Amino acid sequence: MFIHPVIVAIAISVFVIVFSLVIYSLRNPLDNSSNIGEFYTSNPDAGPDAELWGRGGSYFSWRSSEPENSQWPELNIFYRTFGDSDNPAIVMIHGWPTSSYDFKALIGELEKDYYIAVIDTPGYGFSDKPKGDYRYSIPDDAQLVDHFIREVLGLSRFTLLTHDKGDSVGFAFLSLYQQAAPPAYKIDHHVILNGGIYLPLAELSAAQKYLTLPGFGRFMTRFILTPDRFTAELAKIYSPALTQEEQLNMSSTFKYQGGTTVFPKTLRYLDDRRELEETWLQTLSRSEIPATLIWGEQDPIAKTEIADFVWENHLRNRKAGAAYWRLPCAGHYPQNDQPRVIAQLVRWSLSDESGTFTEVQNSECIPVLVEET
């Protein structure tokens, strides 16, 4: 029987690819650590700063509120607190695909005068990253934040500061807050950093688009978009770009419990946004909590058009006071790019103080107050 040479060549190529992937899997097994100590013992070359961050945290147990997750056991949720608990509290919620580690520099600027709490939502950072049919969702994260504040921290009042996906978690959480009668705590102020909170104006990255392709995302994160490669690409949207040492730290949070392989599932938060973003933005419009919108202008994903839209349609004309700041030299991660500036804006937002940005050396980088109501 004659077999065409092209078919033989294709068969050999497929065999080589499959064999290579098998060898790669054997040489690069997914991390299945149950805790941070175990992870860093088996990964001694992982980022040292992220290790200190992880080892300095604590855990609490959380059972998902999603009916689809009813058969899953409780998850271990990572969190950290900083500063004196008698000081005014700030709760910070991270975005996709990073973690509470995003706020490390900002916390360093604020912890002397504030009590700060951060959390890794399921699938991120050093929290558990369930795989299989586990459903990740923004409404579930909002329920988690409510539990964290009431049952773990026991806060009676605080400021909410959110970024990226955390903005949407914050909006969903705000909806819970508005529905409570009466609420178990008081939100004093709402600080919103860059995020694609109005998807029609968002510019998704190439990685985000590929990861949402059915059946391709998990293969991509296992064999193509490895933690180190993904981090190298993500580093480019920081302003300035992350150093090699900073990339090493971030990559280790992705490696923990094979975190990149759940990216396609955690990225489904975009589906929640598409379905509920208008409801959440109306929640923001109704909110009686003073708000500060802070936006890095160099953001290639959540461009300033989003901030302009949200300000004009959901913040500018409401009863509660609001302010809109733009940072000309910051990108998608303003809390990393200009932590001192963000800290100063937070301080001004939470007090009657104001001043000048003396630490900004380049006059072109001085933040611009677009409007205040």
> Using one digit for the tens of pLDDT, what is the confidence trace for 194-235?
999 999 999 988 777 777 777 766 667 666 778 888 899 899
Three-class secondary structure of residue 155 per DSSP: coil
Encode pLDDT of 236-260 as tens digits: 889 888 999 999 999 999 999 988 8
pLDDT at 230: 87
Residue 146 reports pLDDT greater than 80: yes
pLDDT at 40: 87
Average of per-residue pLDDT values in the chain = 89
- Third-level CATH fold of 31-372: Rossmann fold (3.40.50)
Residue 358 reports pLDDT greater than 80: no
The residue extents of the domains of the chain are 31-372
Distance CA(129)–CA(92), nearest Å, equals 20
Can you give the C-alpha Rg of the chain in angstroms?
22
pTM of this prediction? 0.90
CB 80 within 8 A of CB 53: yes
Which residue type, as a one-letter code, is found at position 343? A
Distance CA(11)–CA(269), nearest Å, equals 39
